[in-house]
Every structure is written in structure tokens, then in C-alpha cells.
A = this chain, B = another copy of it.
Amino acid sequence: MFNKITIIGLGLIGSSIARAIKKNHLCKNLVAHDKSKRVLKKILKLKITNHIEPNLKKSVQDSDLVIICTPLGTYKNIVSVIKNYLKNTCILTDVGSAKIFVTNTVNKLINKNTIWIPAHPVAGTEQSGPEAGFADLFKNRWCIITPINKKNPNSLKKLNNFWKKIGSKVQYMTAEHHDKVMAITSHIPHLIAYNIVGTAANLEKDTKSEVIKYSASGFRDFTRIASSDPTMWRDIALNNRKQILHMLEKFNLDLSNLKSAIIKKDANKLFKLFSKTRKIRQAIVKAGQDINSPNFGRKN
């Protein structure tokens, strides 16, 4: 499909893409670049790519597809370094979670003729690093592509096919719409989970140990999400600020409303609030986006 593919950043996502490329034979020459020597050593040991290239410029030379899989805060430096080393027909893409920021940042830096197509595979786990990746991470998940212009329909088609071959379903949307949808489905859930686990972490020492002991009563679900990569989430919080703050406003308004129902002992209102949410769960299970086993089928 491609002759040479370069993956920049071999964490959970980057290393999973690499594994999926290898599994599905999507290129002849797969090259890994990471600023961490430990990560590159690991990649070499795991035989995930054909080559590792510690020099960023060299890693993208002659590539047909360059995929940036690093935290949002690194984009500016990376694109500044590689922009003059991409060949004309190369597709530059990424996997970042805040598309307005990513689009604006990269647009400002790249040369006029660079084929740049932002993308975001909506998949992941709470674990991070090259060891945590696996080839099927993107199977049956959505990959959102936010095309900037229609100058390169063939390249867009190629990227679309690439994600489909990896097992994903592909959806096009604008960066603005993407950021709004992700704010409620991903960013706010993560921030709220970090916040509630943080509240527990701030409790006195004896209560804290009991939080761990009795966590199966609900709390443990939040700790899974709140153990996601902190650098990645710092950068998302910083770079989808507008939509995050907007959704947080709605969340806070609803929470005041819930709080006042508790204070007023408004049984009817509480029952209504706690009833309407079941339908959304049922719709998610029906859409094949979660399993129906109690406690996610956990054996513990």
C-alpha cells in the first residue's frame, strides 16, 4: 500500500499502529522515530518496525506516510524540524485529540504543497508506552478524519483505506465538530475522573486506605480512566480549552441542579434524573460500543 511509513512517537497508539501495519502488510519499510532511546530500544527488541531512526529529519526522508503520534505539546517542534524533509507526495497525518489546535499549529508551519490530513483514531486504553500497544486496538473503532481542503482527493482516499485496512470505521467531520463531540465523550469524562480520584487522594490517610478497600462500589471505574497518560491529558486540557470549558459549564449547571434536588429532598426530580440515563447505556450496548455483561464482565 505504501513503500515507506514513518511513525513519530511509539507509545500506546504509535506502537499499536506499527503492529497493525505489520500484521496487515501495509508497507515495505516501516520506520520508528522516538525522542526516547529507551522506547526505541524497546521497539527494536519487540521487532515492531523494520528500522528505528533516532534522527527525526532522517526518519521522514522518502516516506510516503508520516504519522505523528506524540502529545499535542510536541507538534510545533516536530513539524518545524521535518517540514523541509517531506517529499512532495508524502501524506502527513496525526492521531491527536484536539483537532482545531492541531490543524492551526501545523497549517502555520508546513510548506504550501505539503499534503496534510489531520486524523484521530477514537481508541485507546488507560495504559501507556510501547509495551501496552496491540495490533487490534483500532478494530471496530472509529477513526475521525478532519480534512482541511479537497485539493488531494487521492491522498484522502489512501488515508481512509489505510485506517480501514487496520480495522477501523472512518468518519469525516470538521475540526470544530470533532472537538465538540470529543469534549463530551472523552475530555470531560477524563477530567471528571481525574478530579474525583484527586478528591479521594486528598482525603486523610485512614479514609484513603478505605477508599482503596471499598473501591468496587463504583470508585474503581473512575481510577481506570484517571490512570491514563498525564502528559497526553495535560496537553488535551490545554488545547481543547474552549470546548472543554463550555461542556464543563453545562456539567456544573447540571450538578448544581442535582445538588439542589438533594438539598430540597426532591424525590421525583432525583428519580427522573436517575432514570433517563439508562436509555443511553442501552443505546451504547446496542451500537456495539460496549458489552452487556455486568461490571464489564470483570472476573473480580
Contact surface of A with B, Cβ cutoff 8 Å: 73, 122-127, 132, 140-142, 144, 171, 180-182, 184-203, 207, 210-228, 230-231, 233-234, 237-238, 241, 244-245, 247-248, 250-252, 254-255, 258-259, 261-263, 265, 267, 270-271, 273-284, 287-291, 294-300
Contacts and interface: CB of A to CB of B under 8 A. Distances in A.
Nearest to A229: B274
Given A182-B217, A201-B280, 14 more contacts: A122-B214, A132-B294, A186-B218, A193-B277, A201-B279, A213-B289, A215-B284, A224-B281, A224-B290, A226-B278, A227-B277, A231-B271, A290-B298, A296-B296
A211 B126 contact: no
A291 B283 CA distance: 26
Contact of A288 (B189, B207, B288, B300): B300
Contacts of A281: 126, 197, 223-224, 226-227
Contacts of A182: 214, 217
Number of copies: 2
A216 B121 CA distance: 11
A145 to B, nearest CB: 14
